[in-house]
Structure 1
Amino acid sequence: MAPPRRGQRAATGLAVLLLLYAISACSLLPAARAQATAFTSTRNGSEFSTFSFPSFGNSLRQLPGNLTVLGNATVNANALQITPDTRNDPEKFLINQTGRVMYPRAYVLWAANASNTSADGRRLASFSTVFKVNLFRATPSVKGEGFAFLIASDGAAPPPPGSHGGYLGLTNASTDGSAANGFAAVELDTVKQPYDPDDNHVGLDVNGVRSKVVASLTPFGIDLATNNTKDDGSHMVWIDYNGTARHVWVYMAKNGSRPDTPVLDAPLDLSRVLLGKTAYFGFSASTGVLYQLNCLHSWDLTVELLPDGSNKQPLSGWKLGLAIGVPCAFALALGLFAGLYIKKRGRRIGDDSSSMVRSTINFASIPGVPKEFDYKELRKGTGNFDEKMKLGQGGYGVVYRATVFGEHGRSMEVAVKQFSGANTKGQEDFLAELSIINLLRHRNLVKLLGWCHQDGVLLLVYDFMPNGSLDRLLFGGGPEAPVLTWGHRYNIVAGVASALNYLHHEYDQRVIHRDIKPSNIMLDAAFNARLGDFGLARALETDKTSYTDKLGVPGTLGYIAPECFHTGRATRESDVFGFGAVILEIVSGRRISCSNAAGCSQLLEAVWQLHGAGEGRILEAVDRRLAPGEFDEGDAERLLLLGLACSHPNPGERPRARAIVQILARSAPPPDVPASKPAFMWPALPVVLRLVRRVDDAELPADQGARRGGQGHAHGVS
């Protein structure tokens, strides 16, 4: 039987509102910010529950109901350390250790159903999960023991005594193979036992560690806990379970692209394994005399909800500390309670005037929660999403112009961003943009007015920008189109720089935009810049300097910094590179690059050549539609030099957003730029030891400023 398609998940309006309420209530307590996103969706008549941990912040240890941490497991360095994460005193801390981390909600995985066509009258839930795991050798010469994705009948049971070594924290010598264990697991084993094919395999374990089905990973080019110093040992793992077929498939890869061929597929009837109808999901790992570090960087899970539902309250991973406060606990508990009892058959929250949530909570009074728009109003305002109302289109979906009712019943124009259906990418972009831009407040950012969800349609509502996108004004007009004035151009550059400085340095979390380009810069009635499209943006925790995407390098060619193709990481420096490309486009009126299209040039190389050709030649890069005297030559040179500095191949040489703002305010001189474009090298060479004039790193040698921030974690977490 062919493997099932990847799960498609649509965030429901109820789940998003509850999530926003919980975030808003907890945001008053910085130590208690949840890292998980949870929502429900419906497809093919079945309801699915999804949760997502894109990372595991240390604040999880203070949050009840998020995770249950058992044995020697911990939350540390933005990862789940299933076994201890240390290289100190291995005899004491690393040998013979076990740990488990479980999601505290119990899911009904099978139910009796007389109308079911199966011979035994049982209906099994389907589920799918994807996670990033890092098996890292603490000692280069050895690895051990292993790691497992666990489906357990008991979500609060710690690893059994004596379950270290080859038992992977799942069972022990006296209980191995017993039906009373009630678990199934997918093991990633790095030590060869007498019953194992090798020390690099995947297996399906049922109530014991002698795998029912096992496969070596070597033929797939996968090396668990490798000793390759250039490899951090991380792998992506996808597990799909089809409840109808009662079959499981496992896929693995080094990057975020799921392969077509599974590394393991096997029959699995969970109704014959579990001790009851419900089960918990999580992870287990162990070390023995041999040891390695077993950690998890991210985890997503989608589970089909059977008709009789999963009505158990989550188990607490930690007791609620007094310092966290009652409001956060109340918000999370209320969100869970409402989510379990309110029917969601395609209707929005509040359609029922007796809605418990509406009568209990005034969402309009909660700081930061945006307005929920009526779907019918948005559909009417866009002329049923008429092509004539379309403002733009991209990989995310389509943006429409709409007229809706604003305050005091007055009509107002808005921009409605419709995401590409209820597929995984669409809902991820929707949640990312909603959760980030909702909390941002800056005059040069597009303002979010609200959201809407109905029948899988995901919509965000923004302020309408009368002058459209910078891309349209710069490149979209014909010969008779009005030319953007020099004053407007300089003001736009300064506005985007101010927004970037806010995201990088002034907001309480560091935000990386990852897609700075003219089509994502909107212009209001006064031609002020408003940076938008935060679907790719990510907010980093204070101890992180970069974000690595599961699916490779996102963004648009020409605006992606060269180092991103080698590291896969987005940083403040890579944002600055994209901004540099935008500066050169604004000044020149030409695209940064495009292939085989009339009128296009390799703009960056051309400006470097003009800069190195002699005094004043760089001004030849200014848009020829601006006649002499229609632009300030000093400011034009300032912008072009700044664009080149931001586009420097070495990320350590690019100016910070703070310095950029002062350069544009004319309170700092233009940056010093080499006469010719430096060659790109990776790893980047250190900057020459000299004092540089930097606003935010005054009197700091440039190589120290570029590398400031400490060493990376042993697992490669930045």
Structure 2
Amino acid sequence: MTTGPWRRGGRATTNLALLLLLACVTVAVRSIPAALAQATVSTSTVAGVDFTTFSFPGFDKNPTDLTLWGNASVNQNALQITPDTGNNANSFLVDQAGRAFYATPFTLWAANASSSNSSAPGGRRVASFSTVFKANLYRQNQAVKGEGLAFVVASGNGGQPPGSYGGYLGLTNASTDGLAANGFVAVELDTVKQPYDPDDNHVGLDLNGVRSVSAVPLAPYGIQLAPNDTSSSGDQMVWVDYNGTARHVRVYMSANGSSDKPATAVLNASLDLSEYLLGNDAYFGFSASTGVGYQLNCVLMWNMTVEVLHGARVPSKKLSGWKLGLAIGVPCAAGLALGLLAGLYLMKKRRKVGDDPSSVLHNNAIDLRSIPGVPKEFDYKELRKGTDGFDDRTKLGQGGYGVVYRATVPGDGGQSMEVAVKQFTGANTQGQEDFLAELSIINRLRHRNLVKLVGWCHQDGVLLLVYDYMPHGSLDRHLFGGKDAPALDWRQRYNVVADVASALNYLHHEFDQTVIHRDIKPSNIMLDSSFHARLGDFGLARALESDKTSYTDKVGVPGTLGYIAPECFHTGRATRESDVFGFGAVILEIVCGRRVSCSNPAGCSQLLEWVWRLHGAGRVLEAVDPRLAAGEYDEDEAERLLLLGLACSHPNPRQRPKAQAILQNLQTRSVPPLLVPVSKPVFMWPVPLADGEEEEDETQTFMSRSGVTSSDVSSSSNYPYTWSSGYTTQTFQLSSEVQNAAGRDVSTV
């Protein structure tokens, strides 16, 4: 048996103990009797290292040492994570999810425990463990699969979140996928290809979400999950070995259900469990789901051996039920309180026109340090040192708000970490408003496709926000950066569109308030180490009251030409529909590799109109970035994205798809591409009503109440509806009639 180099600090005796114990576990699996029983629990000591082992050679009908959730059950001596095939498919087997956990938690890391890995990095000791289980993935309907099974190490042993069927494997849902609050690590056996998956037959390592940080196709190893073969049982033997000293995980799988452990791991990855678990204690178990397709996802036997950490003085905490909700809810509530207080502060400050703008935040502002849940406050000297005195060589980008720098600062456990530091221009009133507006919104948002706020700093009149550093920079750089930036391949481009759509759906429909971003463009979309997208720069973003649908700024239309919806120049209002318009422009840029304002062939001056003409001529695929040669992209996916980009860019805001429909169109291949007119519709204002449709659009009621007509706006010399080059965030002047009608103060409508 091969386990890899388990060595640190010259602890050869301990390493030998681990090797011997794991070897014993493997041998024991081969001789497991077919008896049915509760888990057999035992302890052992090898070379001074203590271990706890539990073993399920089979599963009792009413197991007291397992916690079952959702559709999980015990049937026919097996742990059925999703419903078995004896049920009616149409009423019970599709779109289901379940979980099963060993009921007793294990202490998996501690900062003050004696163990075999006392010289571990960061002062933390992390337990090693090894598990082996036999999974049965069997599809009754031989034509389709659905969806897969995962071995899970979780901070709590609660049930699966709502909406976690389909590709979410019972682990997360569209709102929570990727959030640190999930607190789990999983090894997935995935049988359905999602846009972010390599194929429909792979093993993956999942960290707080189902987009695997490492995914390996199994076909080269002769392994087929849920095989399309009636002569095959669908059984798979799986070994997961985790080395807490080396912070490394290896997954082994045997072909044809053999009980002989292979010498080569199918998945080999670095992993520090202590970085992902919410507490010191964790639960081991399984999670699975079905979708529009279904299969049997069950476990036939399970052995688990875990290293015991002695002297861990951190009390054991079960993060389940209301306790887990409290652990997550309190910080969120505190963040909401911060946002509300910051919002009240802004409203109060705007009314005090005579105040000294340079001293408002410094003297009269709320004390951010006193608010529970506020992110870390950095010391200015620390950030200055980390940026080499805010040296231009550390500059990552620049906009109307100020400059972003790359910095190296001390992190938890004494380790350094890289961050992005956003320095707001000056300490004037506008800079303070931008600082507090961005802080009050981004601090409350929690989504894997949003740039995470790490902390803040306000010293000597300098305003700074600190974000996670994105190693691959902005999407803008990869699309238009020239030879210095590598072009994205097709899979990366498709994933970026899906990532931003997920973020937009969260902002528009899943957060407790509707958030309008108002500046969606490639330079505000960042790429992490895996080239997944995170939407950033919330300097212009605004959260709406629960009964409001739009936001009107003081003067003009903030944003960037080419991404501003045409109706905004008439109303001065930002809506979810105007965000979708900007996203449509981004989609076209991603697929075409050209700016919205670039000069295009065939005499077109706008990317949008050029793509629409190609669509009308039945040659829309000619718009695909020429850097993607034939065969290097999926033509069906390319057409889907181009039509989606046109649909989002529809001149009539009522005809644009909502973020929910956009996300569904990207994630579900069975959903047909959006229907788009063969020629670009003419922009009309006010938007004409369809037959039987009542006048409910807030932009029309605004025009009618104010007495402003489309001719008033169109004839104004200040009307700015033209596409120009330029790529910076600006505020564009409205006509004087609209300014007077809207008022010069900030208001929500």
Instruction: Using structure 2 for the length normalisation, give the TM-score.
Output: 0.46
Structure possessing the higher relative contact order (Cα contacts under 8 Å, 6 or more residues apart): 1
Instruction: Using structure 1 for the length normalisation, give the TM-score.
Output: 0.48
